[in-house]
Structure 1
Amino acid sequence: MQLVFDGHNDVLLRLWTHERDGNDPVAEFLNGTTSGHIDGPRARQGGLAGGLCAIYVPSGDLVFADPDQNGHYETPLAAPLDRLPSLGVATEMAAIALRLDKAGAWRLCRTVKDIRHAMASGVFAAVMHMEGCEAIGPDLSALEVFHAAGLRSVGPVWSRHNVFGHGVPFAFPMSPDTAPGLTHAGFELVRECNRLGIMIDLSHITEKGFWDVAKTTDQPLVATHSNVHALTPVARNLTDKQLDAIRESKGLIGLNYATAMLRSDGRSEGDTPIRDMIRHINYLVDRVGIDSVALGSDFDGATIPDEIGDAAGNQKLIAALRDVGYGEEDRRKLASENWLRILASAWGEKNA
C-alpha cells in the first residue's frame, strides 16, 4: 500500500459541527463514522497517513448557484466575517486538534520529522492549517498564538474577502482574475509567515493576490488544493501562467478531488470518473514536473468522485496512476514525498 500525505481536508470542520450537535470528536475520529470522508479507520484502510487539516470558519450565508441552461454558474461571494466570532470558532477547532493529539487519535505535527515519525508509527500525521485568516486580525498577534499551538500553514483568504485580501468566487467559466489582491495587512501577513516558518497557501486567492504573494514571499509557491484552469475553467483553478510560476519557484500544486474542479463542464456531480483526476495530474506533471505535483483531496469539504468515495478509496487513485504508467518512485512523490519536501522548505528544515 502506498501511504498518502494529503494537502488539504476539512475534517476539523466536520468534527466541530458534530460536536455542536453533542458528539465526541475524539470518539468519532477514533472509532469511525458513516458520515463525511475521514476518520481513523477509513484513513488506515485507504493508506491516508496524514495531511493538512484546515481550521475553516464557515460562511452561513453562502448559497451555491445552480448552473444555467449552458452549464454556467456564478455563486456570489460570501460576506466578510467579523473577527471575534471567527476567533472563537477557530479556537474551538484548534482545541479539537489538540484533544485528538492528547488522546492519541492523531499526532499533531510541527516538523517534517514529526510527520515521518507518525507515518512510520501508523499514527495519522495531522498538520494544523488555517483556511482564511479572519481569526487572526491585522495586528497578527493571534498568529503567534496559533503558531505556538501548532499552526504551520495558512491560506490568507477563502472564497470571500477579508482584511488581508480577496478571494475568488465559485464560478464557471471564469478567470481567477476577479478582484484586487493583497491589502497592506496581507503583505504584512506574508512577511510574518515567512519569519515564523508558516507555509502560505494560494488556493482561493485571486490571480492578483497570487502575484502579490509571489513577489513578497521567500517560500516556494504552493496551492494546496487547486487544479488546471485550461482543463476546467472554474475561477478556483490555476492558469498556465500561474502554474509556470509555481514550477519556477520549485513549488507545488495539490490535486483537488472536488468534481466541480475536475470535470470539463464544471459540475459538482459524484459520477465523475477517476480518469478526470488523471487528466489533471498528467497536465500538471507535463507543465510543472513530477516534483511539483501532489494530492490535496478536499475531503470533508467537497463532492468527490464516487469511485473514490472517501479516505478508504485513496488507493484506487494510486492504482490508476500505476495503470497509466507512473512508476513506483513517481507514485511515491505524488503521494507523499513532494509534500514533505515542500513543507521542509517552507518550515526551514534541513535533512528532513
Structure 2
Amino acid sequence: MTPMIFDGHNDFLLRLLRDPGNRDTTWLTDTGKGHLDLPRMKQGGFGGGFFAIYISSSDQSFNIDDLMANPPYSVPLPPMIDAPTAQPIALAMAGYLKWMERASEGQFRICRTVAELRECQAKGVVSAIMHIEGAEPIAADLDALYLFHDMGLRSLGPVWSRPTVFGHGVPFAYPSSPDTGPGLTAAGKDLVRLCNDLGIMLDLSHLNEAGFNDVASLSHAPLVATHSNAHAVTPSARNLTDRQLDMIRDSGGMVGLNFATAFLNEDGAKADDRGFEPMLRHLDHLISRLGENHVGFGSDFDGAQVPNVLRDAAGLGAFRNALSAHGYGAALLEKLCHENWFAVLDRTWKA
C-alpha cells in the first residue's frame, strides 16, 4: 500500500488570500496553478499537513527571486509588522481554512489531536493542522494566543525571516551561518512557556541560531523544524547545522525536508532543473544525523519553487518512486511519509 504523505508546511492559505474571488476554483478544481488543490492532493497521496497563516511583507523594493538565482546573496530582512496590522489578516486566513473544511463536503478536516489525524488517514480524508508562521498576530501580552488555540491553532513559529516582538529570523543568505543576530526577547521566552503549557508545537524553521538555542533551553517539548534542510549540504542561513540537528534528535524532535530549491541545491541557486538528487542528498544527511525516526517532509508548497520533476502535489508519487529507487524500504518510507510526524505530535500536544 502506498503511504500517504503528511506535510510539515504549505502556504496554500496565502494563495486564497491573494485571490479570494476564485477560492472555489482554486480549492476544489485542478487548475494547474500553484502546487495544491483538493484534486491534486488526492491524486498525489497528500494526506494532510500544516496549513500556514502567514503575513507577507508588502514593502520590498527588490526582487528576491533575482537575488536568489545568482549566489552569493544576502536578502535584507523586511521590517517588523505589528499585531494590529497582522491580526485581521490572520483571522481572514483562519476563516479560509474553516471555509475549506465546509466546502470540501467531508473530504478535508481541521484536526486538533493525533487521534483525529489517524482517523482522517483511515478514511481517506485530507487532514489539516492550523499553523501560524511568524507570531505577528500574537501581541506581546499573548492574550490572542488563547483565542487562536481555541480556534484550532496547534503549531506556531515565533518568527518568519524578519524580526518580531518575540525574536529574530534568519535572512535568506548564501553562504551563511544561521548565527545572524540576537535571540529571543523576554516576550519570546514567555511565548515559548505558554506554547508549552497549551501544547502548541513550536516551529524553529525561521529562527536564527541564538533564538534556536533559547527555545532549546526553555522548552520541555521536542524541538521541531517543519521545513528546513541540512547546512552541511547547502550552507544557507535557513538550513540547520549538525549541532542543531543533534539537539533536535536528542530532544525527540524532528525535521521536515524543505522542497525549496534554494535550500536544496548545493550551490544555493534557486534553480529547479536538478532532479530529485538534491532532495535525496539532504535526506541521507538528515537521516544519518537524526536517525530514521526524526525526519519527515515539509514541502513549502505554494510558498517556494520546487524541483520541476516534482512539479506539485500530484507529483508526490514520482517522489516516492525516487525514494524507493534510492534504497529506502517500505518501513522507512512509512516513517518519513507520516508516522514520524504523528509520533512527534503525540509527544508534543495535550489532549
Fold shared per TM-score above 0.5:
yes
1:116 Cα deviation from its structure 2 partner: 1.1
Q: Equivalent residue for 1:37?
A: 35
Distance 1:32 1:84 in 2: 35
Name the CA shift for 1:206/1:48 in 2 (closer, same or farther; >3 Å).
Answer: same
Q: Secondary structure at the match of 1:267?
A: coil
Alpha-carbon displacement from aligned partner over 1:120-175 (angstroms, at most 9, x marks no partner): 22221010000000001011111111111110000000000010000000010010
Which stretches in structure 2 are left out of the alignment for 5+ residues? none
Match of 2:182 among 170, 180, 183: 180
Alpha-carbon RMSD across the aligned residues, in angstroms, is 1.4
TM superposition shift of 1:82: 2.1
Specify which of 276, 283, 286 is matched with residue 285 of structure 2: 283
Gaps in structure 1 of 5+ consecutive residues: none
Give the match for residue 78 of structure 2.
Answer: 78
Q: Which residue of 1 aligns with 2:51?
A: 53
TM-score, structure 1 normalization? 0.96
Deviations 1:210-250 (A, max 9, x none): 00000011100000000000110110000010001011111
In 1, the alpha carbon distance for the partners of 2:117 and 2:24 equals: 20
1:41 is paired with a residue whose SS is helix
Q: Are 1:66 and 1:73, in contact at CA under 8 Å, matched by a contact in 2?
A: no
More deviation, 4-13/102-111: 102-111
Q: Matched residues in 2 for 1:2 and 1:59: separation?
A: 36
Identity %: 51
1:118 is the counterpart of 2:116:
no
Q: Following the alignment from structure 1 to structure 2, what is the Cα–Cα distance between the partners of residues 31 and 121?
A: 21
Bigger mean CA offset, 160-169 vs 98-107: 98-107
CA distance in 2 between partners of 1:236 and 1:218 (Å): 24
- Aligned residue pairs total 346
Work out the CA distance in 2 between the residues paired with 1:69 and 1:56. 24
- SS of structure 2 residue aligned to 1:55: strand
1:245 is the counterpart of 2:243: no
Judge which range, 110-119 or 167-176, deviates more.
110-119
TM-score scaled by structure 2?
0.96
Q: 2:311 aligns with which of 284, 294, 309?
A: 309
Task: Give the stretch that moved more between structures: 104-113 or 206-215.
Answer: 104-113
| Preserved CA contact (<8 Å) 2:47 2:126 | yes
Partner Cα distance (1:271, 1:159) in 2: 26
Check the 8 A contact 1:8/1:224 in 2, yes or no.
yes
Q: Which amino acid in the other structure matches residue 112 of structure 2?
A: R
Alignment of 1:135-214 (within 5 A): 135-214=137-216
Which deviates further from its counterpart, 301-310 or 94-103?
94-103
Partner of 2:130: 128
Report the Cα distance in structure 1 between the residues aligned to 2:123 and 2:11, rounded to whole angstroms: 23
Asked if the contact 1:65/1:73 (under 8 Å) is kept, the reply is no
Distance 1:131 1:68 in 2: 21
Are the counterparts in 1 of residues 69 and 269 from structure 2 also a CA contact under 8 Å? no
- Shift of residue 33 of structure 1? 2.4
For the Cα contact (< 8 Å) 2:69–2:271, is it kept in 1? no
- C-alpha contact (below 8 Å) 2:69/2:270 kept by paired residues: no
Q: What's the CA shift for 1:321? A: 1.2
